[in-house]
């Protein structure tokens, strides 16, 4: 190897060794990155961008501003105490007449969320404004439909002045803006989301608890049995994991129906009479039972992999030192399984709060989780802002929990099977 | 596991109660899956065991629902639901979408896993979190996002849209299994191959690929079953033409409850047993190759 006067080590090409090493390091980094790049781009384009784009819908309120830009300019100066001036009527008249049909349809849907009646009013106006040839417009419009003369309708537009809104987020927790942009509670009969959030969390906590109660003993059994037995019993955990979610949901419907297997067995055994078969499905009970069975493998597998690493000699030592088996278990074994409990518990909880298929099929009216309302607004009411706001809240809760999960177990330690 | 001779009677009872409890939990896990198998051979159009079935009378069992599933209609069958070919169309769609998505997911996922396992990989943790995010985000949110975004490009109601969405959902499984196989991969083998004159491609196909193949296949099977079992995205993204098996079952449960669903469910159980066996055999083989005895 060559050496310069300064004492730097050179490679045979005469380049300092440090530079040469750094270069090859950089090439290696670049190569590794190039391998990951295709998938990264694919995931960003087909998955991350769509989700972020959806989330922005939750605060987006531009729709109506793009249809009625001039009206809103005047609206900002209006005192909102008495009916707006002729100028505003004239502007909104012009904008309704010239607006494109599709755009105005979307805008009026949005207006309807703040005050029902707007949609039909706009629709009717669009049709009948042809009759009005010239101003002054105010009286003619009120004569056409008296809703134009109601100040509550005009006031309701107030919440749409800004192109961004937190209104959907407020709706998602049963609050709303009144016409003066003050936050108030939804009317009694429209308060559904707080209750649904509460129920989603309640069912998820209960499912997690049931999974722990059922999963802990069998994970312990699997971890302590000799390998040839435990491998066999492991199939009981892995097969449900691999079986279609819909298949498992269908079988729960068959078992829990009023004329189903479970009720029939009870009737046959004489526990209950034929006429008072229990309603176990299409309600919260059905959701709880089915979700517990479906999510149980996700509890057992992390518990098992933690329990497998606990040497059996610890328990033997505790027993040897005179501890009662229960006491030894409580003091020696259980503390060591806490990482498994928290990993499994978090995993089950996170999966449970986002569940959609099973509650939708076996939950009936009473066993629906928040996923139901996201789907409902996506497909039925087309209130996409609210759909996105509910989704955003759910996603933020999930990501927070995953962050905790990552701190406890490390996200790359997720194991399959 | 025999009990030691010094156990007291109380401990003995406790131990057997524990075993009994575990037995019940295992029953709870597995019974629902196997219960649908005999019911799918039911002669009557009910979702339950008839008294004749319980007495094992041969007339109580029939293949009529299987025939309906396959689209074979015989005049002597009492047809309760319309005899259609929709289950076979669903099967075809499921396989088209599933296999295409699996192929894409495996190719992309394996390449990415190779990069992620290199010691020089920058931002490894962040990249991993990004790449497995499709597995973490609830399906209903994914479906909503994809629905809005794909609608802009006219991908709603097309096979391309569904295949792309299912590929994104399947890649995390490939990345995880292949990365797991690559831990403990002896990089000297690559150096040996290269010093013997093989170029990068030849090294990959002749040295790396045979060693990581079990992981790649397990990942592919996971990706396949993810797509094959997926219904939420299909529900929002698929049109009438892209009805898959889970989509048919979904509408079957909600609208016309027919035992044909049980036949399809039985076929799916058989499929999952096959896939599980394959993955288990592969895992054992790969552990034997690497000299690891313990599972996980």
Q: How far lies B127's CA from each of A53, A118, A272, B133, in Å?
A: 21, 48, 57, 10
pLDDT in tens, B162-209: 999 999 999 999 998 898 888 778 888 888 998 999 988 899 888 888
What CA–CA distance (Å, rounded) separates A331 from A341?
Answer: 16
Rounded to 10 deg, the angle between the B209-228 and B260-290 helix axes is 160
Residue A405 Cα, gap to closest chain B Cα (Å): 12
A150 and A220, same domain (yes or no): no
What CA–CA distance (Å, rounded) separates B206 from A121?
Answer: 72
Least confident of A14-23, A58-67, B188-197: A58-67
Q: What pLDDT does residue A392 have?
A: 93
Between A and B, how many residue pairs show a Cβ–Cβ distance under 8 A?
278
What CA–CA distance (Å, rounded) separates A394 from A291?
Answer: 19
What CA–CA distance (Å, rounded) separates A312 from A146?
Answer: 82
Residue A79 pLDDT > 90: no
Please indicate whether residue A50 or residue A156 has the higher confidence score (pLDDT).
A50
Among chain B residues, the shortest Cα distance to A401 is held by: B136
Q: Is residue A188 in some structural domain?
A: no
Q: Is residue A175 in some structural domain?
A: no
Mean predicted confidence (pLDDT) in B117-132 = 84
Q: Is residue A178 in some structural domain?
A: no
Residue A214 Cα, gap to closest chain B Cα (Å): 6
Among chain B residues, the shortest Cα distance to A416 is held by: B177
Q: Of A162, A178, A207, at which residue does a domain stop?
A: A162
Q: Is residue A91 in some structural domain?
A: yes
pLDDT in tens, A311-362: 888 988 988 898 888 888 888 898 888 888 888 898 899 889 988 999 988 8
A31 and A157, same domain (yes or no): no
DSSP A271: S
Residue B211 pLDDT > 80: yes
Which residues of B are less than 8 Å from A233 in CB distance? 26
Q: What pLDDT does residue B79 have?
A: 56
Residue B23 pLDDT > 90: yes
Q: Is residue A42 in some structural domain?
A: yes
Q: Name the pLDDT band for A211 (thresholds 50, 70, 90).
A: very high
Q: What pLDDT does residue B80 have?
A: 55
Least confident of A306-320, B45-59, B206-220: B45-59
Q: Which domains does chain B have, with CATH numbers?
A: 9-70 (no CATH), 86-290 (1.10.3720.10)
Residue A309 pLDDT > 90: no
Residues 6+ apart with CB under 8 A from A347: A298, A299, A302, A405
Which residues of B are less than 8 Å from A46 in CB distance? 146, 164-165, 167-168
- Specify the residue for token string 């892995």: A238
Rounded (5°) CA angle A113-A115-A118: 95
Q: What pLDDT does residue B78 have?
A: 57
pLDDT in tens, B103-112: 999 999 999 9
**How much of chain B, in percent, has pLDDT values that exceed 70?**
93
| pTM assigned to the model | 0.84
Q: Is residue A316 in some structural domain?
A: yes
A215 and A122, same domain (yes or no): no
pLDDT in tens, A213-234: 999 999 999 998 888 888 889 8
Among chain A residues, the shortest Cα distance to B141 is held by: A391
A289 and A308, same domain (yes or no): yes
Residue A393 pLDDT > 90: yes
State the residue range of the domain holding A334. Answer: 193-413
A385 and A407, same domain (yes or no): yes
What CA–CA distance (Å, rounded) separates A398 from B170?
Answer: 20
Is A264 in the B-facing interface, judged by CB distances under 8 Å? yes
A258 and A285, same domain (yes or no): yes
Q: Is residue A86 in some structural domain?
A: yes
Residue B99 Cα, gap to closest chain A Cα (Å): 17
Residues 6+ apart with CB under 8 A from B122: A29, A32, A33
Is B156 in the A-facing interface, judged by CB distances under 8 Å? no
Q: Does A236 sit within 8 Å of B30, measured CB to CB?
A: yes
Cross-chain CB nearest to A32 (options B120, B232, B295):
B120
Which residues of B are less than 8 Å from A23 in CB distance? none
Helices (H) and strands (E) in chain B, counts: 14, 0
Q: Of A33, A56, A79, at which residue does a domain stop?
A: A56
- Specify the residue for token string 């896993």: B113
What ipTM was estimated for this complex? 0.86
For chain A, the domain total comes to: 3
Among chain B residues, the shortest Cα distance to A355 is held by: B138
For residues B168 and A47, the answer to whether their CB atoms sit within 8 Å is yes
Is B139 in the A-facing interface, judged by CB distances under 8 Å? yes
Residue A144 Cα, gap to closest chain B Cα (Å): 38
Domain with residue A219: its CATH number is 1.10.3720.10
Mean predicted confidence (pLDDT) in B235-260 = 84
A328 and A201, same domain (yes or no): yes
Q: What pLDDT does residue B293 have?
A: 43
Cross-chain CB nearest to A356 (options B132, B232, B261):
B232
A33 and A78, same domain (yes or no): no
Q: What pLDDT does residue A7 have?
A: 66
A220 and A318, same domain (yes or no): yes
Q: Name the pLDDT band for A42 (thresholds 50, 70, 90).
A: very high
Q: Is residue A80 in some structural domain?
A: yes
Q: Does A39 sit within 8 Å of B109, measured CB to CB?
A: yes
A89 and A41, same domain (yes or no): no
Mean predicted confidence (pLDDT) in A94-100 = 81
What's the mean per-residue pLDDT of chain A? 85
What CA–CA distance (Å, rounded) separates A175 from A168?
Answer: 9
For residues B37 and B266, the answer to whether their CB atoms sit within 8 Å is yes
Q: Of A56, A77, A97, at which residue does a domain stop?
A: A56
A29 and A74, same domain (yes or no): no
A359 and A227, same domain (yes or no): yes
Bridge partners, residue A184, by sequence: A176
């Amino acid at each position: 190897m060559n050496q310069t006067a300064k004492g730097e080590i050179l490679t045979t090409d005469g380049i300092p060794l440090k530079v040469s090493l750094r270069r090859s390091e950089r090439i290696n980094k670049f190569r590794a990155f190039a391998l990951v790049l295709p998938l990264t781009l694919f995931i960003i384009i087909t998955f991350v961008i769509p989700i972020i784009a959806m989330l922005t819908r939750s605060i987006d309120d531009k729709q109506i501003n793009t249809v009625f830009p001039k009206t809103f300019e005047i609206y900002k100066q209006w005192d909102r105490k008495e009916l707006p001036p002729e100028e505003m009527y004239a502007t909104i008249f012009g904008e309704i007449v010239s607006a494109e049909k599709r755009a105005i349809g979307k805008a009026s849907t949005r207006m309807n969320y703040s005050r029902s009646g707007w949609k039909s009013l706009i629709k009717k106006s669009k049709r009948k404004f042809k009759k009005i040839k010239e101003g002054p417009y105010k009286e003619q419009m009120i004569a056409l439909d008296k809703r134009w003369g109601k100040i509550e309708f005009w006031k309701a537009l107030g919440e749409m002045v800004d192109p961004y809104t937190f209104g959907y987020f407020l709706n998602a927790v049963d609050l709303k803006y009144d016409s003066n942009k003050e936050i108030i509670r939804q009317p009694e009969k429209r308060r559904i989301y707080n209750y649904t959030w509460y129920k989603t969390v309640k069912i998820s906590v209960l499912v997690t608890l049931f999974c722990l109660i059922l999963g802990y003993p069998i994970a312990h059994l699997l971890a302590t049995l000799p390998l040839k037995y435990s491998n066999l019993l492991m199939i009981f955990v892995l097969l449900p994991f691999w079986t279609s979610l819909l298949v498992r949901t269908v079988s729960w419907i068959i078992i829990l129906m009023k004329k189903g297997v479970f009720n029939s067995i009870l009737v046959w055994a004489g526990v209950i009479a034929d006429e008072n078969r229990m309603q176990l499905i299409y309600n919260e009970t059905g959701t709880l039972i089915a979700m517990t069975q479906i999510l149980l493998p996700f509890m057992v597998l992390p518990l098992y992999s933690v329990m497998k690493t606990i040497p059996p000699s610890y328990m033997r030592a505790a027993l040897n030192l005179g501890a009662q088996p229960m006491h030894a278990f409580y003091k020696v074994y259980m503390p060591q399984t806490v990482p498994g409990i928290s990993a499994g518990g978090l995993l089950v909880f996170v999966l449970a709060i986002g569940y959609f298929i099973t509650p939708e099929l076996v939950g009936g009216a009473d066993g629906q989780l928040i996923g139901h309302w996201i789907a409902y607004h996506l497909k039925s009411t087309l209130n996409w802002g609210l759909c996105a706001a509910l989704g955003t809240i759910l996603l933020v809760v999930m990501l927070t929990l995953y962050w905790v999960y990552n701190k406890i177990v490390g996200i790359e330690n997720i194991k399959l099977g | 596991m025999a009990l030691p001779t010094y156990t007291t009677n109380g401990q003995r009872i406790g131990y057997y109660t524990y075993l009994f409890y575990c037995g019940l939990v295992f029953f709870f896990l597995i019974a629902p899956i196997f219960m649908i198998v005999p019911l799918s051979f039911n002669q009557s159009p009910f979702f339950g065991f008839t008294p004749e079935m319980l007495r094992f009378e041969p007339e109580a069992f029939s293949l009529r629902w299987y025939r309906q599933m396959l689209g074979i209609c015989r005049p002597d069958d009492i047809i309760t639901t319309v005899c259609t070919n929709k289950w076979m169309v669903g099967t075809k769609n499921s396989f088209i979408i599933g296999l295409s998505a699996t192929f894409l997911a495996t190719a992309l996922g394996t390449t990415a896993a190779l990069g992620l396992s290199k010691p020089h990989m920058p931002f490894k943790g962040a990249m991993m979190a990004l790449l497995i995010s499709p597995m973490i985000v609830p399906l209903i949110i994914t479906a909503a996002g994809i629905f809005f975004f794909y609608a802009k490009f006219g991908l709603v109601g097309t096979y391309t849209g569904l295949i792309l969405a299912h590929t994104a959902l399947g890649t995390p499984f490939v990345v995880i299994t292949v990365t797991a196989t690559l831990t403990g991969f002896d990089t000297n083998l690559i150096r040996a191959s290269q010093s013997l004159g093989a170029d990068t491609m030849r090294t990959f196909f002749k040295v790396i690929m045979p060693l990581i193949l079990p992981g790649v296949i397990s990942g592919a099977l996971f990706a396949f079953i993810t797509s094959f079992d997926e219904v939420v995205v299909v529900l929002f993204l698929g049109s009438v033409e892209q009805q898959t098996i889970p989509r048919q079952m979904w509408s079957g449960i909600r609208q016309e409850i027919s035992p044909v669903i049980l036949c399809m469910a039985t076929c799916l159980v058989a499929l999952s047993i096959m896939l599980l066996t394959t993955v288990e055999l592969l895992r054992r083989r790969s552990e034997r190759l690497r000299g690891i005895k313990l599972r996980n």
